[in-house]
Amino acid sequence: MNLDMVMQELEALGKERTKKMYQSNGAREPLFGVATGGMKPIFRKIKRNQPLAEELYATGNYDAMYFAGVIADPKAMSEADFERWMDGAYFYMLSDYVVAVTLAETDIAQEVSDKWIASGMELKMSAGWSCYCWLLGNRPDREFSEGKITGMLELVKNTIHDAPERTKYAMNNFIYTVAVSYLPLHDKAVEIAREVGPVEVGRGAKSKFLDASANIQKAIDRGQLGFKRKYVRC
């Protein structure tokens, strides 16, 4: 399948209700409104195809950019490629669920994520923290430095309340993911979650609070400690 054929198939799968939902989360035109599950039949026809993924991502169409992440070959991507994709990720559903997820399947994931976390840029920071969540939730505990993850928990504790909006979500999820999926630091993450307390996001009447402690307890109650995904991408 070529670019035009894929775009036609995606357009045919678009639904106005889904489109409006994506737009309410920050997506902008052009987009069709394709449910992610609806993309699976197209993926089965294409499998991994990095050149086509690059063409799709370059369209600027949200659904095409998302599908680019589905068919991408992460190991064929360089750090410069991920930087370019990150530059095109204009809201969190792209930064955290396309770019970060794709990066999580590479050998350079931690190296690139560390740079993004230190960047001071909201969506790069969000993608960096999110990538660690995908990594911790998939890879064996032995692949991570306990000292490094401890330092990252301390960084979250000291900066989360003043972090940019989307970064707060990713940092909060990092505390939760360490507690649930990285057993060497479960107790430390639980302690940090308590010290951090509820984290306010949004403003005015739309503000709400993120509570890592409550979500960690729910995971404990469900017997999910030590949870690891078999695959990062579907």
Q: Where are the domains of the chain?
A: 107-234
Which is nearest to 180 in space by CA: 113, 133, 125?
133
* C-alpha Rg value of the chain to the nearest Å: 18
For the segment 199-208, the average pLDDT, to the nearest whole number, is: 88
| Separation of alpha carbons 187 and 195, rounded Å | 12
The pLDDT of residue 115 is above 90: yes
For the segment 101-112, the average pLDDT, to the nearest whole number, is: 98
Q: What is the pTM of this model?
A: 0.96
Residue 96 exposure: Cα atoms within 13 Å on the Cβ side: 21
pLDDT of 234 reads 60
pLDDT of 231 reads 86
Question: Could you tell me what percent of the chain has a pLDDT over 70?
Answer: 100
Residues ≥6 apart with Cβ < 8 Å to 88: 57, 58, 60, 65, 94
Strands (E), the chain: 199-201, 208-210
Looking at 41-45, 139-143, 204-208, which range is the least confident one?
204-208
| Separation of alpha carbons 143 and 136, rounded Å | 9
Which is nearest to 171 in space by CA: 183, 185, 154?
154
* In contact, 61 and 30? CB cutoff 8 Å: yes
